């Protein structure tokens, strides 16, 4: 599954995804989760998450981690590679 994540509320994420016609959902995550995946600096619990790319296998293992991605093109780029 391809998805994006941010610190915004579920309603804000839904509106943002609809506004930009994203073909994938945006999930609301907390600072601890974002830190675990390298999308936030230690101690960061609000503000903006980093635009990292993470591919997670069905077993939960991280298969790819990219330090900077284009949020508009990354989902399709990943799907092409998979």
Residue 45 is predicted with a pLDDT of 63
Residue 36 is predicted with a pLDDT of 83
pLDDT in tens, 34-81: 888 888 877 766 667 788 888 888 888 888 888 888 877 888 888 888
Pairwise CA distance, residues 46 & 13, whole Å: 15
Residue 11 is predicted with a pLDDT of 93
Q: Is the pLDDT of residue 18 over 80?
A: yes
Q: Is the pLDDT of residue 22 over 70?
A: yes
């Amino acid at each position: 599954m391809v998805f994006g994540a941010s610190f915004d509320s579920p309603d804000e994420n839904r509106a943002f995804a609809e506004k930009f016609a994203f073909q994938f959902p945006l999930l609301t995550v907390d600072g601890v989760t974002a830190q675990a995946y390298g999308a936030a600096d230690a101690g960061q619990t609000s503000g903006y998450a980093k635009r990292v790319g993470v591919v997670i296998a069905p077993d939960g293992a991280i298969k790819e981690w990219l330090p900077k991605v284009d949020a508009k093109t990354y989902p399709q780029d990943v799907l092409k590679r998979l």
